[in-house]
Amino acid sequence: EIVKQVCWDFAKGGVPNIWADPKLAARKLELQQGAMYNLLHMALLGGYEGAATVENFWDWANPPAEGDAGRNFETLLLNLIDEANYASGECGLISPDTLDLALQTGLFQAPHVTVIDRRYELTGACRTRVVDGMCRCYEFDGIPVESEFERVDLVRTRFPWYFDKSISRADDAQISMHEDAEEEHIDEEAIQRYRQAVGITGRISDRVLVVDFGSTYTKIGIFDPQDESFSLNYTPTTVDDIRIGLADGMGVLDECRKAGNGTGSYDWGPLQRVMDEFAVRLPCSSAKGGLKMVTVALSRQESGFAAEVAALTAGAKLVGTYDGQLSPEQARRVFTQDQPEIVLIAGGTDDGGDSQNALHNARLLAEAAKYATYTDYGVPFIYAGNQDVRAQVERIFRDNGVDYRMAPNVMPEINDFHIEVVNEAIRELFQTVIIRGKGFDVVEEYMDAPFIPTPRACFRGVQLLAHGYGSEEGLGNILALDIGGATTDFYSMVRDNPLYLYPGEDRRKKVKRTILKTPNTPLAYRRVEGKYGLSYNAENLKELPQFQNGNLRARLSDYVAARFPDYRPGNDQLSQFADLGGRLEINLDRYLSWISANPHHNAVGPVENSARSYLAREIMAVATAKHVGRVDETDTYFLQYGVNFFNQQTTVLLIGGTIYHKCRYQEPGYLEDLRLIASGVLYDPKEPLVLRPEGDVLMDASYLVSIVGGLYGRLEPERALRVMKRELQALRSEQQPDSLERSLA
């Protein structure tokens, strides 16, 4: 309106003095105040600690001529740029990182810009319109506002940790993890229920059998409560009939063969006889690929995250994850390529959330289930999505003749995750349909409890070891890694998530605030590094950047050469991949391919053992870098994501076949091999922002954690804990070998 009036007056030949217009003068002052209010908040983002505050801003919000006690626009700006008002001694107002945060939080706006990077989506969240001839903001991120000051206040209220140094925990994720009290927390009531299910009434006095049927080996543990002794038999698994490995480990396989009268069949009477000698018999299994699952959700970050956590904590191996609406080709691929044993469908909040996605995916997957020709029993479905369409989804499953379980919503509200509602359905299916489909039901008659997935048993054992029970104290915080031939499992069991404390001497870094960006991240969880293992999946290490740029090959070659300077390629297994032309070179490309093609060929001799241990260290480093917490450093803050193991006492627990074999056979150099492997889990000064632990290292050399802690520990936890604490072997904390230091340099 002002512009139109000016143009009209100008057309008539007069030039009015518009600056004298009180309406324009008021708007000019408002714009100045709004700009300074933004600058004050940007200074607070940059660590400003001077005299100006949000509370006294209006004392400064005047032109110089009207300043009160020297407080005005000019003195405010001088105060904001004064380096003495910043703990770092540098003006954070002009920092690139501060500008970046101003864009990410939406403090600075560009409402007419199309934002592609989601980190900056709030930059375009302001909506404007002309009011009384002036452009004004009327909405920010969908919330009505009356002025620029109200908009900035909304930004500060939404991200208070950046503007108030007394606040150190962000809550922009607002994730609420609900734990399953019965399964995740061992108490007397849960123990009594389990003892009743197994048929135990009093204290166990006779021997206990605990068995883990693995894909490669069957681990048979025998525990004698009389003297609390434990022994382990380690026999190959015959996946076609797991009774063979069980009978072999129990020492009656030949007797079962002879009883078959040379017909090639077996008489399992001798196995039944020896199994009857035990008071309790408890099984777990990861054979035939473990429990393979596919999750399908609405979005990867929300319902997809909830579905994955539910599957992993139940002990599953994820063979596929999908989000959004599936295409018919994707639905077929789930059964023709991924070949899961359970399909979990999630997505959509209750009471009005998205429903079309769940209905669409349920229909396509149910219709495509006919392509699951790899199983005689079909693939069961679990629905844990929007409950508004529960009846419709159930009708889709029923009309297509698929087995299904209906569960409550794994995410009934945005970022409110109910993991336990799915765990029970997964466990029930594993103990019935899946066990039957794998042929494991042939040994169930010898057992007193249903099968559970081995990773689930391990999770329980780690929990018991960490928390303790009754008069038997636990070890406290634990980070456990189980490195296998195909995958590497990561277990976290800690009670707290402290803020990162910078350990160095740099004064500018010491004064930086740490803001925990993920305050509700789970403290007890399992993650799976599904691509990297030491045998079947060794070849996948070629996907790592350090392999592709030659760094891993050079470090491995340097390490082996430094540790074994007299090594010369000869007739040993490693020699076909080693070349000594001036300096030792290991053809890592060919070596990794050979390991994957020959997964049952163990390393031979100390030199190859050291090379395999170096690869194990690399896998450990990759797994921990991905699954421990990390810190992003800005000019003003340390932004912490995930769990900080570095600034709290945490015991590292190493599990798996590699650890078992090295501790059992104790070949020359095995302790240095073990220290090398452990170095991939421990804090590395060369990666200071990866929050690995610095604590003691224990080794599970007898698979105690899963079969004693996770199985027997559900019956007599104090006794199981006492045995674990006695049998776990400590890895002495010695200085890192010089050969490793040189290879990592």
* pLDDT score for 252: 94
Reply yes or no on whether the pLDDT at 122 is more than 50.
yes
* pLDDT score for 182: 33
Reply yes or no on whether the pLDDT at 184 is more than 70.
no
* pLDDT score for 179: 38
Q: Give the percent of the chain with pLDDT over 70.
A: 92
Handedness of CA 93, 99, 102, 107 (dihedral sign): positive
Reply yes or no on whether the pLDDT at 290 is more than 80.
no
* pLDDT score for 475: 97
Query: Are residues 683 and 692 in contact, defined by beta-carbon separation less than 8 angstroms?
Result: yes
* pLDDT score for 480: 97
Reply yes or no on whether the pLDDT at 364 is more than 50.
yes
* pLDDT score for 600: 80
Residue 311: strand, helix, or coil: helix
Reply yes or no on whether the pLDDT at 536 is more than 90.
no
* pLDDT score for 185: 62
What is the average pLDDT across 366-374?
Answer: 94
* Each residue's pLDDT tens digit, 491-521: 999 999 999 999 999 988 999 999 998 877 7
Reported pTM: 0.79
What is the average pLDDT across 199-217?
Answer: 88
Selected residue with higher pLDDT from 439 and 658 = 658
Name the region of 50 (left: φ>0; alpha: ψ -120 to 50; beta: rest). beta
Distance CA 489, CA 481 (A): 6
Name the region of 578 (left: φ>0; alpha: ψ -120 to 50; beta: rest). beta
291-437: what CATH class?
alpha beta
- For 671, other C-beta atoms within 10 Å of its C-beta total 14
* pLDDT score for 437: 64
Confidence grade of residue 742 (pLDDT, cut at 50, 70, 90): very low
Residue 47: strand, helix, or coil: coil
* pLDDT score for 303: 81
Query: Are residues 670 and 496 in contact, defined by beta-carbon separation less than 8 angstroms?
Result: no
What are the tokens at 457? 């048993």
What is the average pLDDT across 703-719?
Answer: 94
What is the average pLDDT across 706-713?
Answer: 95
Query: Are residues 157 and 688 in contact, defined by beta-carbon separation less than 8 angstroms?
Result: no
* Each residue's pLDDT tens digit, 549-577: 999 999 999 999 999 999 999 889 999 99
* pLDDT score for 361: 96
Confidence grade of residue 585 (pLDDT, cut at 50, 70, 90): very high
Distance CA 709, CA 715 (A): 10
* pLDDT score for 177: 41
Q: Give the percent of the chain with pLDDT over 90.
A: 60
* pLDDT score for 171: 59
Instruction: Name the CA dihedral angle for 245, 251, 253, 259, rounded to a multiple of 10 degrees.
Output: -150
Helices (H), 52-160: 57-60, 73-81, 96-105, 148-158
In the chain, what are the domain boundaries?
A: 2-162, 213-287, 291-437, 459-535+605-744
Among 728, 721, 678, which Cα is nearest to 702's? Answer: 728
What is the average pLDDT across 80-94?
Answer: 93
Residue 31: partners with Cβ closer than 8 Å, 6 or more residues away: none
* pLDDT score for 234: 87
